Amino acid sequence: MCGIVGYIGFREASDVIIKGLKRLEYRGYDSAGIAILNGEVIIKKGKGKVVNLEKMVLNGPAKGTVGIGHTRWATHGEPNDVNAHPHSDGKHDFAIVHNGIIENYDSLKKELISKGHTFDGQTDTEVLAHLIEEIQKVAEVDFETAVQLALKQVDGTYGLAIVNKHEKDKIIVARKGSPLLLGIGDNEVFIASDASPIIEYTNKVVYLDDDEMAVITREGYQVKTISNIELNKQVHELEMNIEQIEKGGFPHFMLKEIHEQSDTIADCMRGRLMVEENRVVLGGIERVLDRLVNARRLVIAACGTSWHAGLVGEYLLEYIAKLPVEVEYASEFRYRQPLIDSNDILLVISQSGETADTLAAVREARERGALVIGICNVVGSTIARETDAGIYTHAGPEIGVASTKAFTAQVTVLSMMAILLGQRRKVLGEADAKEMIHALHGIPAQVASIMEKQDQIDTISRLFAYAPNFLYLGRSYNFPVALEGALKLKEISYIHAEGYPAAEMKHGPIALIDEHMPVVVLAVTDHTNDKMISNIEEVRARKGRVIAITTENNHDVRNLAEFCITIPETHDVLTPLLTVIPLQILSYQIAVYRKCHVDQPRNLAKSVTVE
Ligand code: M6R
């Protein structure tokens, strides 16, 4: 987590950095800081969001055209002024910003204390600064070599940037496990954790890989390994634009992203869903398609919302393609010695493409010889680059911490993949494929029609905004959607919510139901309809407040539920793409009623790059 921005060139560095840090605040927002080179290293930092840092800089400008900045998601040391980045060495010669965790910081710190170093705060990053200082003093090497030697001594992960007052036209950056890229302009270079801070200046980027560093000057950059082997890195051209990363008139990114979904789902299918030809083309996995078609099973690993999409994928791939699927939490995958080998295929799903646990699963599976395929949103992200093949979701930048459009794009990809594999495995007939492809093609317009229900959902949101608990129930394809609805509510409204397979309710959670408990029931017209109706009756019998999401023609559910939000009819297997939308809106509106910080909920970060 944490966001890093750096700049060297001809502009006022603090302007570029503060603007960039605002764009990266989704990565963490406990504290923020900046270091500008101007003869000295001028550091300004403090607890709170980037806007506080901006005020500090306005009150006492830090002038200069070289600098680095940081927005923090605390790992080691509470979020306070002292622990805010940048950190310095004992002599205040240089400043460092760091994303990641130095796992052996405690032993390094003890050793440094025994050599006379004193520390102001509790962070692992400050230890790294003192380690570099100590190495430079003892080994009598230049600064760059000292950084290299220090990085060889640390265990853990880092994306870091350093400025040194003795090297006034230089920034050193390095990466291991935490993303970092360079934006290449004319006589200026930008550094950032992702492309959003730099896209308004340049679309030319160089991605650093693990164990690489770069020495950046106004004139350009040299990338090398930590062991000092010079590299010739490819320059990539980004396709995103500035409008995609601005709110576009919406009060929050989350609401903007909820509204974008009819477009993003359509973008995700463009050139892939061939309605006339009754087939699906997924160029990113073409090369490995035979392996997929003949696979004995597929293992899916992901975290959070992406894991929920993976669960929907399990239902889709097993039902449509008759391919056995196991879905794993990426965070558990490598710790249980997974039985996966060169006959297996791991499919990882990640919006950011940087989630540390998912990346660890990728590496574990590759080490064991498995084929690894990715479904990622961020183009050029680490997971996208480290997988053998993959499919981009093309949902555009997702800034709100609560994932919305990424989920529907992931489910769209999984639906297309299931149809493609079903046809190739000869288990999905032409007529059934046609029905699904047509239904999928119609989803964007149906999603747009659900947006018109916001006022109706608002009545429910207002009524239940202060409920202490929520229960979400679903069956089959909509069980993962129940989990997703509960997660959305938890993370942005801080209301305790649980998602359950509806049938499990009577094995425990039913004890919670009374007249104060809102129960969101996903009860669409499908093969589980009768059973869902029984569950609604069971909730009603205990005076629970039923909020049903159902299909337009489902009069049974509409008559039974206290509140009802309808979605248009679609193919049963595609209902998650529609049922999730009212749940996203519900959680958004409740968060707004509760005056919660929708886009930056407490304790969270968009991209979880620590394990
Ligand atoms: O970038 P990823 O899809 O790998 O992220 C996985 C989770 O961290 C993410 O989905 C998280 O659960 C969201 N905050 C949920 O809204």
Is pLDDT of 240 > 80?
no
Is pLDDT of 279 > 90?
yes
The span from the CA of 601 to the CA of 611, in Å, is 20
Provide the pLDDT for residue 488: 97
- Reading the block at residue 88, the tokens are 């310095």
pLDDT-above-70 percentage for the chain: 99
Of residues 221 and 240, more confidently modeled: 221
Helices of type H across 100-252: 105-114, 124-139, 143-153
Average pLDDT over residues 47-69: 92
Largest Cα–Cα distance of the chain, in whole Å?
Answer: 81
Spatial CA neighbour of 196 closest among 385, 390, 3: 3
Is pLDDT of 610 > 80?
no
What residues pair up with 8 in beta bridges, in sequence order?
Answer: 66, 189
Q: Which atom of ligand 1 is nearest to the CA of 302?
A: 4
Q: Are 32 and 46 in contact (CB under 8 A)?
A: yes
The span from the CA of 393 to the CA of 404, in Å, is 13
Query: From atom 12 of ligand 1, which residue's Cα is the shortest distance away?
Result: 304
Q: Exposed e or buried b for every residue in 93-109, given b needs 16+ CB within 10 A?
A: bbbbbbbbbbeebeebb
Residues 312 and 431 in one domain: yes
| 470 within domain boundaries | yes
Spatial CA neighbour of 531 closest among 490, 568, 476: 476
- Reading the block at residue 167, the tokens are 């090297």
E-strand stretches of 395-482: 469-474
Which CATH number fits the domain that encloses residue 507? 3.40.50.10490
SS3 184: strand
- Give pLDDT tens digits for 476-504: 999 999 999 999 999 999 999 999 999 88
Residues 190 and 236 in one domain: yes
Cβ–ligand 1 distance for 436 under 6 Å, the answer no
Cβ–ligand 1 distance for 491 under 6 Å, the answer yes
Provide the pLDDT for residue 183: 96
The span from the CA of 364 to the CA of 370, in Å, is 9
Q: Containing domain of residue 319, as a range?
A: 254-441
Residue to probe by mutation, ligand 1, list 29, 193, 303, most atoms within 8 Å of CB: 303
Residues 550 and 580 in one domain: yes
Provide the pLDDT for residue 466: 95
Average pLDDT over residues 502-516: 88
- Active-site annotation holder among 2, 303, 376, 596: 2
Of residues 308 and 509, more confidently modeled: 308
Provide the pLDDT for residue 528: 87
CA triplet 204, 208, 211: central angle to 5 degrees? 170
| 550 within domain boundaries | yes
Q: What is the average pLDDT value for the chain, to the nearest integer?
A: 93
Provide the pLDDT for residue 506: 85
From 393, 419, 441, give the residue that closes a domain: 441
Spatial CA neighbour of 573 closest among 426, 410, 418, 391: 418
The span from the CA of 21 to the CA of 27, in Å, is 9
Q: Are 353 and 377 in contact (CB under 8 A)?
A: yes
| 395 within domain boundaries | yes
Which CATH number fits the domain that encloses residue 185? 3.60.20.10
From 414, 441, 468, give the residue that closes a domain: 441
Tell me how far the alpha carbon of residue 197 lies from the centroid of ligand 1, in angstroms: 21
Spatial CA neighbour of 217 closest among 3, 70, 10: 10
Rg of the chain in Å (alpha carbons): 25
Peptide bond into 601 cis (omega under 30): no
| 249 within domain boundaries | no
Residues 510 and 554 in one domain: yes
User: Of the ranges 147-161, 215-229, 332-346, which one carries the lowest mean pLDDT score?
Assistant: 332-346
**Type of residue found at 34:** I
Spatial CA neighbour of 300 closest among 310, 308, 312, 290: 310
What letter would DSSP give residue 86? P
Q: Are 383 and 372 in contact (CB under 8 A)?
A: no
Residues 563 and 490 in one domain: yes
* Helix 576-593 with 430-451: angle, nearest 10 deg: 20
| 586 within domain boundaries | yes
Tell me how far the alpha carbon of residue 426 lies from the centroid of ligand 1, in angstroms: 34
| 446 within domain boundaries | no
Which pLDDT band, with edges at 50, 70 and 90, does 248 fall under? confident
Residues 367 and 487 in one domain: no
The span from the CA of 458 to the CA of 590, in Å, is 8
**148: Cβ–Cβ under 8 A, 6 or more apart, which residues?**
213, 226, 227, 228
Q: How far, CA to CA in Å, does 310 sit from each of 79, 570, 606? A: 34, 21, 19
Average pLDDT over residues 550-558: 93
The span from the CA of 323 to the CA of 480, in Å, is 19
Average pLDDT over residues 501-520: 90
From 214, 244, 274, give the residue that closes a domain: 244
pLDDT-above-90 percentage for the chain: 82
The span from the CA of 269 to the CA of 246, in Å, is 24
- Active-site annotation holder among 22, 170, 490, 606: 606
The span from the CA of 105 to the CA of 126, in Å, is 9
Which pLDDT band, with edges at 50, 70 and 90, does 588 fall under? very high
Tell me how far the alpha carbon of residue 407 lies from the centroid of ligand 1, in angstroms: 9
| Domains of the chain: total | 3
Average pLDDT over residues 417-430: 97
Q: How far, CA to CA in Å, does 347 sit from each of 304, 313, 406, 472? A: 15, 10, 16, 27
The span from the CA of 180 to the CA of 213, in Å, is 10
Average pLDDT over residues 300-321: 98
The span from the CA of 75 to the CA of 99, in Å, is 10
Provide the pLDDT for residue 343: 93
- Reading the block at residue 27, the tokens are 């990565």
Provide the pLDDT for residue 607: 74
CA triplet 400, 404, 406: central angle to 5 degrees? 100
Residue to probe by mutation, ligand 1, list 392, 596, 604, 608, most atoms within 8 Å of CB: 608
Q: Output the 3-class SS for 205-219.
A: EEECCCCEEEEECCC
2 is catalytic: yes
- Give pLDDT tens digits for 169-214: 999 999 998 889 999 999 999 999 988 899 999 999 999 999 999 9
**367: Cβ–Cβ under 8 A, 6 or more apart, which residues?**
none
**56: Cβ–Cβ under 8 A, 6 or more apart, which residues?**
44, 46
Residues 111 and 194 in one domain: yes
SS3 229: coil
Residues 272 and 232 in one domain: no
What letter would DSSP give residue 182? E
Provide the pLDDT for residue 431: 97
| 264 within domain boundaries | yes
Element of type H or E holding 99? strand 94-99
Residues 40 and 63 in one domain: yes
Residues 272 and 371 in one domain: yes
Q: Which atom of ligand 1 is nearest to the CA of 303?
A: 6
596 is catalytic: no
- Give pLDDT tens digits for 98-115: 998 898 999 999 999 999
Helices of type H across 157-286: 253-259, 261-269
| 39 within domain boundaries | yes
- Reading the block at residue 151, the tokens are 């990085």
Q: Are 567 and 540 in contact (CB under 8 A)?
A: no
Cβ–ligand 1 distance for 384 under 6 Å, the answer no
The span from the CA of 452 to the CA of 449, in Å, is 6
pTM of the model: 0.80
The span from the CA of 493 to the CA of 588, in Å, is 8
Spatial CA neighbour of 338 closest among 307, 300, 291: 300
Q: Are 568 and 583 in contact (CB under 8 A)?
A: no
Residues 181 and 127 in one domain: yes
- How many C-beta atoms surround the C-beta of residue 112 within 10 A? 20
First-to-last CA distance in the chain? 10
Residues 586 and 539 in one domain: yes
Tell me how far the alpha carbon of residue 209 lies from the centroid of ligand 1, in angstroms: 22
Per DSSP, the chain holds a count of helices (H) and strands (E) of 19, 27
Which pLDDT band, with edges at 50, 70 and 90, does 1 fall under? low
The span from the CA of 396 to the CA of 378, in Å, is 8
Query: From atom 11 of ligand 1, which residue's Cα is the shortest distance away?
Result: 304
